[in-house]
Amino acid sequence: MEYGHLGRTGLLVSKLCLGTMNFGPQTTEEDSFAIMDRAHELGINFFDTANVYGWVKGEGITENIIGRWFAQGGGRRERTVIATKLYGSMGDWPNEEKLSALHIRRAAEASLRRMQTDYIDVYQAHHIDRDTPFEEFWEAMDILKQQGKILYVGSSNFAGWHIAKAQESARRRGTVGLVSEQSHYNLLVRAPELEVIPACEDYGLGLIPWSPLAGGLLGGVLRKIDKGRSAADHIVAQLDKHRDKIERYEAFCDELGEDPANVGLAWLLHQRAVTAPIIGPRTVEQLDGTLRALEIELNDKALARLDEIFPGFKTAPEEYAW
């Protein structure tokens, strides 16, 4: 396994991040345990979750699964850099969502209980909260840091100017600020190249792409359909929209002799600011298959071909001005 620093920090994390969103809804607890154990065997130390995963309001199903896995001991917690998120609604009463100081405190305590740990390595805002000033956000996060309950703070789904605003607010307080941004970024979704990636580079944030395979579109969907496998309705709808690109992409992957899923992950690992794409295996076999992405070297010609199929963006403002 390869490791890199999370943004400008001294924290070393694996170049692939294990996403746990399937744990509970699509993957049984027993299989989830097996996937996490296998991840450690492969050297993956970076796991991502969220308090809303499991998708039953207030239950924190996925965090509970992780907690029971940690509770087995054997160095499971010590070998894991655990990143979780807050923002989504965890109840029907006021202050049970978003990023008020009250909710941050309560959400952190609840995540700690569910995951059966006394600290969170990377505590991430799952979305920008336009109603809470960053001064309040940072005060709450700084208190959690002082208490030893969180080590680092990250963001998710922030625009470039949100990152800048957050970092300047932290700078005024004399604190580290954000160390990572988790963005929707893949060959099909390249908008972060306009301002999010430049902001990450300038402020030293590690970029953690979610949905690196565009919900399955970049995972060899046409091959699977040709073999008689069905695709979810939302995948079929997106495939109809992007069929020409996907056909060209899978043909190029055939030329490379590589699985489309691994090419999609490898492409992200070649991009600026990217620390680790989030993989979401539903089985141990799927997890094992992702390791090939770390070995694929895409030369300039291959990267240019992918840019031709999936045009990206220049950094703003050059993309739309001079």
Active site residues: 53
DSSP track, 58-120: TT-HHHHHHHHHHTT-TTTTTT-EEEEEE-S--SSSTTSSTT-HHHHHHHHHHHHHHHT-S-E
CA neighbours closer than 13 Å in the CB half-sphere of residue 217: 26
Q: Which residues pair with 120 in a beta bridge?
A: 150
Q: What phi and psi, each to the nearest 5 degrees, are found at residue 215?
A: 70, 15
- Whole-number Å distance between alpha carbons of 143 and 78: 23
Q: From the CB of residue 60, how many other CB atoms can be counted at a distance below 10 Å?
A: 26
- Whole-number Å distance between alpha carbons of 153 and 167: 11
- Whole-number Å distance between alpha carbons of 279 and 16: 7
- Whole-number Å distance between alpha carbons of 231 and 320: 37
Angstrom CA distances, 303 to 208, 268, 270, 271, stand at 20, 11, 9, 10
Tokens 């054997």 belong to 74
**Long-range pairs, 299-308, Cβ under 8 A, ≥24:** 302/256, 303/267, 303/270, 305/252, 306/187, 306/249, 306/252, 306/263, 306/267
- Whole-number Å distance between alpha carbons of 50 and 20: 8
Judge whether 55 and 25 are in contact, CB under 8 Å.
yes
